Structures are given as C-alpha cells and as structure tokens.
Amino acid sequence: MITRKAYAKINLCLDVLRRRPDGYHDVKMIMQTVGIYDVLTFEKKEEPGITLTVDHAEIPADGDNLIVKAARLVTDTYQIKEGIHISLQKNIPIAAGMAGGSTDAAAVFHGLKELFDLPMSVEEMKALGVKIGADVPYCIEGGTKLSEGIGEVLTPLLAPPKAHLVIAKPDINVSTKFVYENLHANSLAYHPDVDGMTEALAQGDLQGITKRLGNVLETVTVKEYPVIEEIKTLLKEKGALNALMSGSGPTVFGIFADEKEAETARESVLLKGLAKQVFVTEFVN
Ligand code: ATP
C-alpha cells in the first residue's frame, strides 16, 4: 500500500489576462503550497477496475471524482489491467479555491507511478493532468510557481520567507465556473503586480510580498459574499501583514509574522462565527 499527502495551494497573486475564444482564461498567477493536505492511499486489488472510498458525504466517490478520472487516464495510457483501490481522507476545504480536487488528481499520478513502477516522467504526468484541470500540472509539481497560459505554463520562483498563515473557509461553497463566468476579464480596472511579487520573492522580502497580494477574482466573489471582506478586515485588525481571497474563493488567508497573533486571529474568526474551518499553518516548499 502506498500513501501520499496531497497539499492545498493558495494564490499570492491571481491575474486574469483575457477570456479566450474557447472559453478558457489566460491567467498569470503565483501559486504557493500550504500545510493543509488530504491523504490518499493506493493499493492493488484482485477484482479489476478502480474503486474509491471517501470519508466525506459531499464528495462523489464515482467517476465524477477527479481521483477516478486521473486513475483512468493512467490505466488507459499504461494499459494497466489490475484492479486499484484508492481511499481519500479529505482535510482540504471543499469548493474553496484551494485546488482540493486538482491536488488529489495530482497525487494519483505520483501514487500510481510508485504502485506500478511506471516509467512516467513529471512532464508526462503534467501532460495527462492538464486534461483533468488547469491547476493539475501545478499540483503535480507544487511549491512556489508562476503559472501562465491556462495554468499549465509553470516557472519556479523562490519560496517566500517563513511566515504564519491563518486560512479561513466561510461556510459557503463557491463554484469556480460561476466566478469566471461573471468576471469581466477584458475590462478589469485593477491588475495585481505579479512581476513585483516575483521580485519580492527573489529578495526574500516578506513586507514586499504581503504588500503585493492581489486577486482579480475578488471583484466577483466578494461582491456576492461580503463575509470574505469581513474576514480580511478582522485578520488585518488582529495583526496580519495583509489578507487575500485564494483562487475563486471563498477561502481567505492572512499572512502573519508572529505565530501567537495568528493563533489569536484564528480564535477571533471562530468566535465571531465568520468561518467554521480555520487553520493556522505555513508555506510548504
Ligand atoms: P479550485 O481551487 O481548483 O477551484 P476548489 O477548491 O474550488 O478547487 P474542489 O474542492 O476541488 O474546488 O472541488 C469542487 C467540486 O468538485 C466538489 O464540490 C466536488 O463535487 C467535486 N470533486 C470532484 N473530485 C473531487 C475531489 N477529489 N475532492 C474534492 N472535490 C471533488
């Protein structure tokens, strides 16, 4: 049996450059792995086919799950006839803007490579992964990356300096599709300074990083769900250097220099009932 952790991500910057004629969007994002993860186990089984058990009622355990889609791509590509059983322990908030499904799919490529000793390179994994979702290639690599194209063009960046994160997922589920469909991609008044963020990362400048946090998808999601702004404000009042919505939301993260302040901020978010799922964690590289 093989066990793998599938880590969530946040976006330090998320810019949308344009809507493409095929409906996809060209993006320019800075992705960062954080210390919240699902746990997947992989084992061979006697009966042929792919089965999945999930410890969470909201998540499909059938062919709609990105885990099953990824496993089918691998078994088709490498003509694997043996049966596979996968189990998922879900810790990453769902429909949250943290790439929960995409990171599970990414873990499947790594897990099945190991289980069957497959000659599958990271480039091959990414080429298969992008068929499942634009964020899957990033999740296969993880770390600190500039992500362009629809998300599949990845450039490694220097990891941010150590900091403490409060990550809060309000009790609403946001569909990524809804957010992108309601984004006026070709007439955005504001674009985050992605190049400046890259430079701040290269300098190891935490203030420079926090000053440049930006996400154009806030224009859609925050308007719909004011609780996001409330959490951002509270985190900043409680000592966050800055706070931002991750991905298409509704998850908010705050970056703290001080761990105790981060713990206190977490308590405040819980006490005020702004979110039920609130974590204190760190960047992972
Ligand atoms: P992203 O940041 O990529 O937009 P997300 O965090 O907004 O992702 P997910 O939690 O990945 O959203 O998934 C949203 C929906 O996808 C869920 O409501 C669920 O029905 C479906 N889904 C399919 N496979 C998975 C999976 N392995 N984990 C979570 N959700 C899954």
95 CA from centroid of ligand 1 (Å): 5
Instruction: Using alpha carbons, select from 9, 36, 34 the residue that is nearest to residue 248.
Output: 9
Q: Tell me how far CA of residue 54 lies from CA of 36, 47, 99, 117, 198, in angstroms.
A: 17, 19, 17, 25, 38
The set of protein residues with a Cβ atom below 6 angstroms from ligand 1 is 59-60, 64-67, 94-102, 104, 135, 176, 247-248
Q: Architecture of 2-156 per CATH?
A: 2-Layer Sandwich (3.30)
pLDDT, tens only, 124-139 = 999 999 999 999 999 9
Band (181; pLDDT cuts 50, 70, 90): very high
pLDDT, tens only, 86-108 = 999 999 999 999 999 999 999 99
99 CA from centroid of ligand 1 (Å): 7
Q: State the pTM of this model.
A: 0.96
Band (81; pLDDT cuts 50, 70, 90): very high
- Name which residue sits closest to atom 5 of ligand 1, judged by CA: 95
264 CA from centroid of ligand 1 (Å): 29
Active-site residue, from 135, 169, 232, 238: 135
List for the chain the helix, strand, coil content (%; round to 5). Answer: 35, 30, 35
Query: For residue 245, is pLDDT > 90?
Result: yes
238 CA from centroid of ligand 1 (Å): 30
Q: Average of pLDDT values for 61-80?
A: 98
pLDDT at residue 187, as a whole number: 87
Q: Average of pLDDT values for 7-29?
A: 95
- Name which residue sits closest to atom 17 of ligand 1, judged by CA: 95
Q: Average of pLDDT values for 198-227?
A: 97
pLDDT at residue 186, as a whole number: 85
User: Which residues, other chains included, contact 226 with Cβ-Cβ below 8 Å and sequence gap of 6+?
Assistant: none
**Integer Cα distance of 69 and 46 in angstroms:** 20
147 CA from centroid of ligand 1 (Å): 19
**Integer Cα distance of 138 and 156 in angstroms:** 10
Q: Average of pLDDT values for 21-49?
A: 96
> Which atom of ligand 1 lies closest to the CA of 133?
3
pLDDT at residue 2, as a whole number: 97
Instruction: Using alpha carbons, select from 64, 92, 71 the residue that is nearest to residue 6.
Output: 92
**Integer Cα distance of 35 and 40 in angstroms:** 16
Which mutation among 37, 59, 221 tests ligand 1's pocket best, with the greatest number of atoms within 8 A of CB? 59
Instruction: Give the rounded percent of residues in the chain with a pLDDT score beyond 70.
Output: 100
Band (178; pLDDT cuts 50, 70, 90): very high
> Which atom of ligand 1 lies closest to the CA of 100?
11
Pick the CATH number of 164-281 from 3.30.70.890, 3.40.50.10470, 3.40.50.720, 3.40.50.10260: 3.30.70.890
How does the average pLDDT of the chain come out, rounded? 97
131 is an active site residue = no
Query: For residue 183, is pLDDT > 90?
Result: yes
pLDDT at residue 69, as a whole number: 98
- Name which residue sits closest to atom 9 of ligand 1, judged by CA: 95
Domain boundaries, the chain: 2-156, 164-281
26 is an active site residue = no
